[in-house]
Amino acid sequence: MGRPWILDYDGANCTIGAAVGIIGERWTFLVLREVFNGVRRFDDMQRRTQAPRQILSDRLGRLVDRGLLRKVPYQEHGQRSRHEYRLTEAGLDLYPVLVALMQWGDRHAVSPAGPLALLTHRDCGERVRLELTCGAGHKLASAREVTPLPGPGARKTA
């Protein structure tokens, strides 16, 4: 195979790198999984992820700082005010990342019992999946049908 063009370009402006720099960490994924599942409170997250409290607190703080989660106060009767965590619009946009991980896991890392959860379409009940498509409406079977090209942020290396 030929030399890939990407070798002649600087890795700067790679948006995979940028995204991974923000969320590419085990506990961060697990926190996001919980929030997408509707789990919004610290103690629930802590119990489900088994993350050490200090790490969970740190990861939640970073996700808030990055604008992916926001803190919303709540108060239960007779208790002090607390806050829960909700996804911002930028956070909601991470959903395909989680679904892609889940889809891969369902295929390659599933236990004999089967997966814990199934994703269904709220309106019709059918199973949800991610599809690789193109602007002309073609469905792509795999990465082999994709050609990466230099984008506007590509800079040749010196």
The CB density around residue 31, as the number of other CB atoms within 10 Å, is 26
Q: Contact with a second copy (CB under 8 A): which of 77, 80, 107, 156? A: 107
Q: How many CA atoms lie within 13 A of 121 on its CB side?
A: 8
Q: Nearer to a second copy by C-beta: 21 or 61?
A: 21
Q: Nearer to a second copy by C-beta: 17 or 61?
A: 17
- Residues 117-146 touching a second copy, rule: CB under 8 A, are 117-124, 126-136, 138, 140, 142-146
Residue holding tokens 């802590």? 46
Strand partners, 34: none
Q: Report the distance separating Cα 106 and Cα 114, nearest Å.
A: 8
Residue 31 CB, shortest distance to a second copy, in Å, is 11
Q: Report the distance separating Cα 72 and Cα 82, nearest Å.
A: 8
Q: Report the distance separating Cα 96 and Cα 38, nearest Å.
A: 16
Residue 21 CB, shortest distance to a second copy, in Å, is 7
* Residue 131 CA to its chain's centroid (Å): 16
- Residues 7-66 touching a second copy, rule: CB under 8 A, are 7, 9-22, 24-26, 29-30, 33, 36-39, 44, 48-50
Considering the rule CB under 8 A, would residue 108 count as an interface residue with a second copy?
yes
Strand partners, 65: none
Site size toward a second copy, by CB under 8 A = 93
Q: Nearer to a second copy by C-beta: 15 or 79?
A: 15
Q: Contact with a second copy (CB under 8 A): which of 72, 85, 97, 158? A: 97
